[in-house]
Structures are given as C-alpha cells and as structure tokens.
Amino acid sequence: MISCNHLVNKIKKLGFEFDIPRIRLAFEFANQAHEGQKRFSGDPYIIHPLEVAMRILDFHPDEDTVIAALLHDVSEDTDRTLDDIENVFGPGVRSLVRGMEKLSQVRSRVDEPEVENLRKMFLSMASDLRVIYIKLCDRWHNMETLAYVRPEKQRRIAQETLNIYVPIASRMGIYSIKANLEDLCFKFLNADMYKLIHEQLEFYTKQNTNFINTEKDTLTKFLHKRGYNCRVASRLKNQYSIYKKLKKKGRSLVSDLYDIYALRVIVSDDLEDKLYQILGEIHSTWSPLANRFKDYVAVSKPNGYQSLHTTVVGLGLEEFNRPVEIQIRTESMHRQAEFGAAAHWLYKYHENPDMYNSEKCLDWIHELKNVESSIKNNTEFIENLSMDMFNDRIFVLTPKGDVKDLPESSTPIDFAYAIHTDVGNHCVMAKVNDSVVPLDHELRSGDVVEVITKKDSEPNHYWLSFVVTSEAKSKIKSYLRNADPDKTFKEGRDVINKYLESIGKPVLDPDLLVLKRFKGANLNQKQRYTLVEEVAIGKFSVKDLIKDIYPMDLLVKPKTKKSVKNSKNIDFSKEILVDGQPVNFPVKKTNCCIFKLPEPIGGFVTRGSGVSVHNLKCKVFQNTDDERKIKLQWKDTQKSDMYVVDLSIEIQDRVGLLKDVVEVISSFGVNILDVSLRESSDSTKTLKLFSLAVKDYDQLVSLIMKLNVIENVIKVSKIN
C-alpha cells in the first residue's frame, strides 16, 4: 500500500514546521481522486505527485507549495474541482493548483492556442514563483519516465523541455534541475551521442578518480593548514554540457577536454570576507591561467549566482598535471547555486507574501509581462520570446557599475534601449571599455559600455538588421512607424537601392516598376509605394523583398562540385556526417567493407572504440542490433551547391583594413578563392575579391551588409 511516510520523514528531517496531519490529508485527497489511474509505466498515478512533492522539499517551500505539489493534477485529471480543493485546503492552495492547471497545455509549437498557453505560463511566473518550482519538478519526473511513451512523443516532449524549461531553470539559477533536464533531453534527442559520451565519461571517471581525489585532498590540506574552515568537493560537468563543449571545440574525445570537472571550495558564511584572500593564496601557490578568472561575487549574475572562478595548473600529480577549474564560494552561495536565488523566498513566503513583489525577485520575470502586453501579434511574440528568453545571456556594465542582463550577441543599440527609450532613439556613438566601437559591435560579458547621444539623432532602418532584443526592435519600429511619411518613403527607397547596388542591379526607377510583380502579384503604384514604406519601418525585410525579385540563380552561377573518386584511404573524420553534423567521436575503419563515395553507409556503436563504419549492404552491419545502429552520410552528398560571386570593395586605405575585411569574410565561413588590388587615381583603392564561395542568398547579403560598415569602406558591390 502506497503511503506518504517517506514524504513526512523528509519534512521532519529537514526541520520544516509543517502541519503534518494537513500534509497527510492532502495525500489522501489526491490518492482517492487518482484512484484507478495509471502512469504509462503501469505504476499507480499517485506515485507522480508524491515524487514531485518529495523533490520540491529541496527548494525550501512553504506548506501550501508541498500540498499543491500533491494536488497539482487533481483538478484537471479527476472529477475533483478547484472549489473542492479550496473548501478543504484554502484559497492559497487553490491559486497554486490553478497556476499549474494553466501551464498543463504548454507546447512549443507556434500557433494560436500554443502561444496563448506560453503567455499564460509566463504571466503565472511573474505572479507566483512557487508555481514554476512545482512545474519544473513535475517536468523533471515526467522526463525520467519518458521511456514509456511512444518515440515521436518522446522527441516532442524532450525538444519542448530543452526549448522552454531548461532556459527557465537556468535563468532562475536552479542548476540542479537544469543539468538533469539537459541530460534527459539529450538522451532522447540524440541517443547515439548520449551513449558515446556516457561510455567515455564512465571510462574517464574510472581512470582518473584517484587523480581527482588527490587534487581535492591536496587543496583541502593546503587550506586547512592556513586555518580556513572549508570543504572541497569535485563536480563533473553534465553530459549535455560536455557534448556542447566538444562540438564547440571540434573535439571528439572527452579526454581531450581539461575542464570537464571542477573543484569547489565551500567556506562557512562567516568567511565571506576571506574569499579573495583564499583566491590569492591559491594563485600564489599554483599558476593561474590567463583570461580564466571570473568574479561573480563582486558582480553577481542577475539570477543571483555568486562565486569566484579561476583555473590553475600544477595542482595535480605529475602524470595528471593538467589545468583544473576551482570555484570558491560560501555555503549560502553554494545553496543558491544549486537550488536557485528564489529558494529562500519560497520558505519565507507565509511570513511575508509581499516579498514576491520585491525588486530582488528576479526582475527579468516581471519584464515578461510587459513583453506580452505590448505585443499583439502571436508570431512576433514567439520570435521575441525566442530571442530574449532562450538565448544565452551576457552581463554588461554601465560606467557607474550597473549591470544590464542582455541576450548573447547584443549590441550597443540593444544596451542603449535597455537603459531608456530616449537613450536608444538618440544614440549616435558608443564606447566599449573606453574605445569607440561601431553601433553593431557585439558586446561581451564584463564590457563597460558608454552611450553618447545627440538630440537630433534618430533610429534608422539599418539598426533593425543587427539588434537582437525585442525591446530594441519594437521601439525602433515604433519610432520609424511614426516618422514623416515622405521621409519614411525616402529612407525605404534608399535602403532598397543600397541593397540593389550591392548585388550589382539597377536602382529603383521613379515608378518602382521592378516591384510590380512582387510575389507574383500585379501591384499598382500606390501598393508599390506602401511596400517601400513597410521596408523602411521594418514591417518587411529588404532581404526577402530583393530575394523575391532576384532569385539566387539569377545573381550568381553555381559552383561545379568536385567529382569524388573511389578511395581506400578515406579520412572518415573529415568525410562523414552524423545527422548532418560533423563527426566528433572516434571512428573505426572496418576490413569487411570497400567504400565508394557516395554509396550509402551506416555505423554502429562499439564498446570503447567509438563507431564502426560499414556499407549498408554489409552482412556484419545488417546483423547488428538495431538499437546500436546510427545514421551516417558522406559529407559531399549533403552539401548544397556553392555559388561563386565577385565583389568590388571601394576603400579609403588605412593600416589594418585588409585584415579587417578578411576577418569579416572568414567569420561568415566564406572561402576566398582569389583576391587582387587595383589603385585608382583619386587616392582610393578598389579591392576586388574574386570567386567568393557563398552558400545562399542570406549569407551573401549579410556579408555585404557587414563589409559595408567596416571603417574606411566606401562601397561594396557585386560585379556582374
């Protein structure tokens, strides 16, 4: 017989002064309501809410939160109503269960009902954080039992979790849930890579546990000898983090990384003022690596995370003497890092409900209300949500030391609008770390940004091509929308003409005839004028407009593919893709097969040797267990045709200009096939870049845009 004894015992062990009979009553209420219901695993349904309640205890909840965790599915999945819940447990529990009910239909698809559910979700977040803690624990347990549902549902739920719930846990600083959700998603979305990394990590741990323990013991004795009351723990990165790091660095083996684990120095709270002293003693004994120090104590992350991070060498034994990351924090900082900045607020909620309205209560959550209320279009809402919520974050400072939380790839214009609308609208120049930078400069964490404004300066359409925050985009569009119509039309025409010139096409004629057949229509002159105005205010993308008028095949000629000959010495690591991605794991050649590109191939996971590659017709491959097989493709058969384009770049020469041009081109992954210089009579030089191999229209136009804003570049245009 299932009981709540384990839950009650955990409550008592953690020292919570809850009304235990009320907790037992909530369990019996839920147990009776769910009687006869089963999970996909076959277990009685009550196992799930009981598990959610057990997990929520780690985050120091109040009593109502635990009861709501037990009842969170009752009103939706049984004949019990919210009124029934309120009559027994009060309005507070009803409100929390109602919050969970609103989130129950959240999906990641972008259509009317789904976006409405996302809005409800984030509005619920802003009104009561306790609902989010319950929901995250609910999703965590559901992901652990996901193996019992059909495969297509597994992938949908895993992708949804990775897109929505993982970023929420990250932004709230609940890294214990974030890491578990990431690994569970990884397991269902990329099972082959998950198995490979899991096997490699097990092998790495088995081989190196003694070395890591020696490092930990050495550091512990070192600090204790100097009188610091502390403990030293080691932590391995979760598998999904390791996968992303391997992919980013282009590596294939876990052992290729030195920062897959870290040592944590955790001191008592009364030693908070000694953190920097401990850091200094460590640095004076072991050599720190340059550019690997991060101070999240002086400037904490917006979600409240605090810690000192450094990387040193020389701590390990001679046979394992590799760099090791050390994190230094207090016990309170450590609890906050594991369970989130709001965990202690949950525990104190019943004493002071108004603290949920405190500015300390994660300002970014409250800002989501403003985003939702200011955006009426569903598509625009989800696009802005994706930009702001689901991207990685950077933390940028004003000259006075105020921290601004922005999405990765933000620019000075995004920063300016984050300060104030007028600062953004009148921004004319920006300094980053005391150096003047272009307005489309990509900011990094720790940058100090100063914005210079002028009253007569105003936003322009070009800003929309590089800003990333929804706030900046919406305010720029709003300003342009309210500008003088004649001025708006002129700006739209100038923007279109600039693009047309860049791709070597004639500019707009007075009647805008080139736009007449836009999207197959027969636009009259008024409609053509309106289209130009819509480009100016950002309602319509100039890239999409020109792409419709001049398809890629009319702009450039396809590059002929190289023929691939049969080879017995194929470099598998360079020639093979897995689900369209480069190989980043060990590949084992086989003696049973002769490979001829582009004949189809497959592979299967071997123990300790990565992946064995075979022809699909190979009997060894055909007789292998299907669960171990993975899909492989030849790289050349996956490539789309490349296009050759010749660009002419008119410049006013300066030191380092050619280097800047080449770096921009390289940053787009574009291959420079030929280059030549020609000096003109008026002291300017025309830099001709021949045979740039671009993959599509968007890459070509984005590259031209980026080249145009390089200092001393006068004009960029495609040569016909």
Please give the positions annotated as active site: 76-77
Q: Per residue in 437-453, is it b (16+ CB within 10 Å) or e — as a string?
A: bebbbbbeeebebebee
Q: Is 216 left (phi over 0), alpha (psi -120 to 50) or beta?
A: alpha
Burial of 388 (0-12, 13-18, 19+ CB in 10 A): buried
H or E segment and range at residue 403: strand 403-407
CA distance readout (Å), 315 to 213, 254, 312, 462, 625: 11, 21, 7, 51, 45
C-alpha closest to that of 134 among 225, 254, 52:
52
Residue 375: other Cβ atoms inside 10 A: 18
Q: Are 659 and 665 in contact (CB under 8 A)?
A: no
CA distance readout (Å), 183 to 180, 337, 473, 630: 5, 18, 34, 19
Helix (H, G, I), strand (E, B) or coil at 264: strand
Query: What gap in Å lies between CA 547 and CA 553, rounded to an integer?
Result: 10
Helix (H, G, I), strand (E, B) or coil at 76: helix
Query: What gap in Å lies between CA 703 and CA 369, rounded to an integer?
Result: 36
C-alpha closest to that of 71 among 6, 5, 25:
25
Place of tokens 């200092």: 711
Quote the DSSP letter at residue 513. G
Q: Is 204 left (phi over 0), alpha (psi -120 to 50) or beta?
A: alpha
List Cβ<8 Å contacts ≥24 apart for 652-656: 652/683, 652/684, 652/712, 652/714, 653/684, 653/685, 653/712, 654/711, 654/712
Residues 6+ apart with CB under 8 A from 420: none
Query: What gap in Å lies between CA 370 and CA 222, rounded to an integer?
Result: 51
Phi, psi of 597 (to 5 degrees): -70, 135
Q: Are 352 and 62 in contact (CB under 8 A)?
A: no
Gap between the terminal Cα atoms of the chain: 80
